Amino acid sequence: MELQKELSQKIFKLQKSRSGKKVLGKKKIGMMVAGLHPVVGEVVVGFSLCHKYDEFDRVGCKKVPGHGKIVAINRAFRWGDTFNVNVPPSIQKDVFKFLLRCKSYYKDKNMPPWTEKLLYKELLHE
């Protein structure tokens, strides 16, 4: 199933030297996706994240372009009306920024309950 008016963003992790002082580059570790559900017309949001030993867009030993995005879209449809989605602490700030962006992009649409809960929780901490 395809999303209408899709909004997506990659999640990166900075790779540092062993001393932790020099940044060596960025490594793609996940994907966040938001869009309008084609039937219901409400916003759905999902994300995918690699395990720390895995590579992005790789399944087993095969390179599968777009796999991370497919996982994120499937989760977006599955998480449409749920309240409890566990966002890993390592990407909570990235997801929070993405949700703020989604909220301003889809002004007149309802956001999923789990996103509202996360936004409310993060805004209380700041």
pLDDT at 33: 92
Q: What is the domain count for the chain? A: 1
> What is the span of the domain harbouring residue 14?
4-125
Place of tokens 């007149």: 108
CA distances from 10 to 30, 31, 45, 82 (A): 6, 4, 14, 23
**Is residue 2 a contact partner of residue 33, using CB atoms and an 8 Å limit?**
no
pLDDT at 63: 83
At residue 7 the predicted structure's pLDDT band, cuts being 50, 70 and 90, is confident
**pLDDT of residue 54 exceeding 80:** no
Phi (first) and psi of residue 9, to 5 degrees:
-155, 140
Chain segment 14-34, per-residue pLDDT in tens = 676 777 777 777 788 889 999
